[in-house]
Chains A and B, each alone.
Chain A
Amino acid sequence: MAKPDFNVPRLAEYLEPPQLAPDAMAGSKPFKASRQHQAALGFPGELVENWEEVAIAKLGELLGKYRSLRVYLDGCVKCGACTDKCHYFLGTGDPKNMPVARQDLLRSVYRRYFTPAGKLFPKLVGARDLDNSVLDEWYSYFHQCSQCRRCSLFCPFGIDTAEISAAAREILDAIGVGQKYCNEILGKVHAIGNNLGLPGAALQDTLAGLEEDVKADTGVDVRFPLNVEGAEVLLIPPSADFFAEPHVDGLIGYAKVLHQAGITWTLSSYASEAANFAMFIGNYEQMRKVALRIRKAALDLKVKRIVIGECGHAWRVAYSFLNTLAGPFDFLDRNYPVPQHIVEITHDLITRGAIRLDREANDHIKVTFHDSCNVARASRMGDRPGGQFVLPREVINASCNHFHDMDPDTIGERTFCCGGGGGLLTDDLLELRVKGALPRMQALRQVQQEHGVTHIAAICAICKSQFTKVLPFYGFPMDAVVSVHQLVSNAIQLGAKA
């Protein structure tokens, strides 16, 4: 790990709101999308000439399309309840990272152009003209929101800053100022089928390699099928699962579970990616286009069920939006929800005794669990509210003997984002990512000291990559993060039918 050119926050015993450090993160800006990245998504290649007009027109359009935006821009009373809830504020102290202040960056412009009070008395209500400095702030601070919705949980009106920052990013794209990381990735999904730009042949090789590895490891022929027509299940993992550590151990876990349960399954090279980065840029049409790949793959491969791998925002898009974007799914087996999460499958198999796990296989580690923001506050698992907290923990507890939860204020619905979500998992935002991880690192340190926890299990590709990157900054080993299905993979008894 190279020495960072910023100060890594110290982990205190308790998480206290920091002193305000105005403009501390004003310089944090992700790389801009190139002309090509923009063009691939149908966005202007550079700042359009009459950008102020275009931006206001876009805002007007969005106000007509999204009730959330309209209600949230009007409804805030500046009560301040959300001000100490954002991990980016807690980690940076920059007041513009307080959720309400972040919203105000857009609200001030909304008021100026769309409300009588802002038109007549701008100073009084904090309304301001859209100019270059505002644009600069938008680009900076709307790329310091991981759209984790922690603020929305605590707001008396449920005001969701994620909705605001997604709208702001959509405006930015419309005037030609896109973010490289998200837009480049979306281009790859359209062109190749996954975020990593991994073509079908390479995927085939990778999967063959995994089959060999598992065989060498266990002596069992666990298959990793690709494009198999007529399989029962179409499995759609985040593409990081194909090679990144510890993601790939999770993929091996899914394969072992499905193998052992005797469920036929397949991956699709056409839809080899569960992630849908269009959500991060707030663009409904892009999001729909990406989601329709899944529908087409399911139709082409004539599967009966769609199952999503471990990925937080992908699960949000799948659980909450897929039916809207790409439904109805009446061609699938209606005995199962569409889609299902791999944890739902594994949990059900464990409950029914259809797979057996040997907890002692994980006795060398002590585990805690990081609830991903998108799974926790934007989706569900199982048939009861809150199942997204219960099911993964039950799967983990069935796979290992030593599990300890972190501080209740930092898990479940109150969980903190890993610091890398929402399209910010890019090295040009490293300082933000490291600082934004502070609340999670603090809670991890606490269970490390109190319970000797050695590993943090995650259920999201972004969380896993982010932790791998930032753990060392706080003195943890980078491999202290594990996939939930990695624990399952270690513990599952292959061959021994229940």
Chain B
Amino acid sequence: MQTVPLLTVICALMLYAGAAVFLLGLGHKIVWYARTPAPLKIPTMPAPTNGIGVALRMAREAALFESLFKSNKWAWLFSALFHLGLLLEVLRHLRYFVQPLWGWVVLIQPAGLYGGFAMVVGLLGLLARRLLVARVYYVTQPSDYLMILLLLGIAASGLSVTYLDHADIVSFKEFILGVLYFDWQPLPANPLLVIHLVLASVLMAVFPFSKLLHAPAVFFSPTRNQVDNARERRHLAPWAARLEAGLNK
């Protein structure tokens, strides 16, 4: 068996670590959110009166950022650009993970290329808003800037290996598949690619400890995911039921 270069080992281990922290940390948070009861009915009204309505409300919120659109068109525009770009990039990157390739992943490759640019434009817009709107500047903490810089770094390094300093896509895919199946293959020695991988690992690792938790939070938000049926159905949290049993004695 050939020896695996040190860089490959480091990058592979880093990816494992990032993915592990991401999965465990996020899983932990999600379990915690799911286990914590929402003792009172607090949907922001008007709210749907049945489950289908709520599913649609959540879908609009998650896919279209409905409330943000209501709230602030610029923030919505930049945010939508960034997230749409990110989505396209994530889907496009599937080509490194699946073998044989799925047809639709091949189909979206050209569109996916625009994703990186959309991300950059969206992020720069969000950054500008943070710096230029006094109200937003006021509530911004260092970590908020760092997060934008991290994402910009990922987008920029990714765009660079695509457009400036072409990495060897074929051997990169072998590397990724090797990591996936624990059969390590050498990583093409391209500094930008390495940076891209390092930053992506960092992003995964900080996810469960940062405001990126807004991704699960949107689905667990009681003001958005509750059905307006308080008069029809009694809603009682387990701890409230215990309290009731104690008080009624």
Q: Which residues of A contact B (CB under 8 A)?
A: 17, 19-20, 63-68, 70-72, 74-85, 95, 98, 100-101, 104, 115-117, 121, 123-126, 149, 152-160, 163, 284-285, 288, 319-321, 323-324, 327-328, 337-339, 376-380, 383-386, 388-389, 413
Contact = CB atoms under 8 A, between A and B. Distances in A.
Interface of B: 29, 32-33, 36-42, 44-49, 61, 65, 67-68, 70-72, 75, 79, 129-130, 133-136, 138-144, 146, 209-211, 213-214, 217-218, 220-224, 228, 230-237, 239-240, 243-244, 247
Contacts of B230: 319-321, 323-324
Nearest to B218: A157
Contacts of A121: 143
Contacts of A124: 141-143, 146
A74 B234 contact: no
A327 B247 CA distance: 14
Contacts of A65: 36-37, 39, 237, 239
17 contacts: A65-B36, A65-B39, A67-B33, A70-B32, A71-B217, A79-B68, A101-B139, A104-B139, A126-B141, A153-B67, A157-B67, A157-B218, A159-B221, A160-B223, A163-B42, A324-B234, A328-B234
Nearest to A163: B42
A379 to B, nearest CB: 6
B159 to A, nearest CB: 24
A336 to B, nearest CB: 10
Given A284-B39, A323-B231, A157 B224 contact: yes
B37 A67 contact: yes
A376 B46 CA distance: 7
A19 B129 CA distance: 16
B183 to A, nearest CB: 34
Contacts of B68: 79, 81, 154, 156
A369 B68 CA distance: 27
Given A81-B68, A337-B231, A76 B135 contact: no
A164 to B, nearest CB: 12
A118 B137 CA distance: 20
Contacts of A155: 67, 71
A388 B231 CA distance: 15
A295 to B, nearest CB: 12
A468 B84 CA distance: 50
Contact of B211 (A70, A78, A377, A378): A78
B119 to A, nearest CB: 16
Contacts of B228: 380, 385
B33 A379 contact: no
Q: Give the most central of A116, A159, A339: most B CB within 10 Å.
A: A159
B234 A156 contact: no
A337 B133 CA distance: 47
Contacts of B141: 78, 124-126
Nearest to B215: A75
Given A83-B136, A320-B230, A156 B142 contact: no
B41 A160 contact: no
Given A75-B218, A79-B79, A284 B243 contact: yes
Nearest to A121: B143
Specify which of B37, B47, B214 lies most central, judged by the most chain A CB atoms within 10 Å of its CB.
Answer: B214
Contacts of A383: 49
Contacts of A100: 139
B135 A20 contact: yes
A73 B71 CA distance: 20
Most buried by B among A17, A152, A376: A152
A75 B235 contact: no
A49 to B, nearest CB: 28
Nearest to A375: B45
B39 A66 contact: yes
A153 B33 contact: no
Contacts of A160: 42, 44, 223
Contacts of A338: 231
Nearest to A79: B75
Given A158-B221, A284-B240, A98 B40 contact: no
Contacts of A158: 44, 61, 67, 218, 221-224
Given A101-B139, A385-B48, A68 B42 contact: yes
B223 to A, nearest CB: 4
A81 B40 contact: no
B136 to A, nearest CB: 3
Contacts of A98: 135, 138-139
A82 B44 CA distance: 15
B17 to A, nearest CB: 16
Contacts of A149: 44, 223
A17 B136 CA distance: 12
Contacts of B46: 380, 385-386, 388-389, 413
Contacts of A101: 138-139
Contact of B71 (A78, A81, A123, A376): A81
Contacts of B36: 63-67, 70
Query: A-B pairs with the 4 shortest C-beta distances?
Result: A75-B217, A80-B136, A158-B223, A385-B46
B96 to A, nearest CB: 28
A85 B71 contact: yes
Contacts of B61: 156, 158
Given A67-B36, A284-B240, A376 B45 contact: yes
B67 to A, nearest CB: 5
Contacts of B37: 65-67
A81 B75 contact: yes
Contacts of B41: 320-321, 324
